Amino acid sequence: MNMDAEAVATVVSTVAVAIVCGIITYRVSIRQVKHEIAAAFQEHIEKMHDQHKEFVQAVKDAGADDSKD
């Protein structure tokens, strides 16, 4: 292999490694973002559930107060 062919092979292999690293980084980032979205959504669901329980309790309490009148 002459010097030019070795240089081309080095550049091609370097570009290939960079592309593979980029793909791996992208996939890991997407996986992390999906995890963060799922955690935030679960937190939102729990918060909404708690708010709903408080609302139902407030309505029950208001109904109990009205029946005493």
Q: For residues 14 and 57, what is the distance between their CA atoms, to the nearest angstrom?
A: 64
Cα separations (Å) of 61 from 41, 49, 50, 56, 65? 30, 18, 16, 9, 6
Residue-level pLDDT, tens digit, the chain, 69 residues = 677 999 999 999 999 999 999 999 999 999 999 999 999 999 999 999 999 999 999 999 888 776 665
Supply the pLDDT for residue 67: 64
Q: For residues 14 and 49, what is the distance between their CA atoms, to the nearest angstrom?
A: 52
Instruction: Count CA atoms closer than 13 A to 50's CA, side-chain side.
Output: 6
Task: Identify the three-state secondary structure at position 2.
Answer: coil
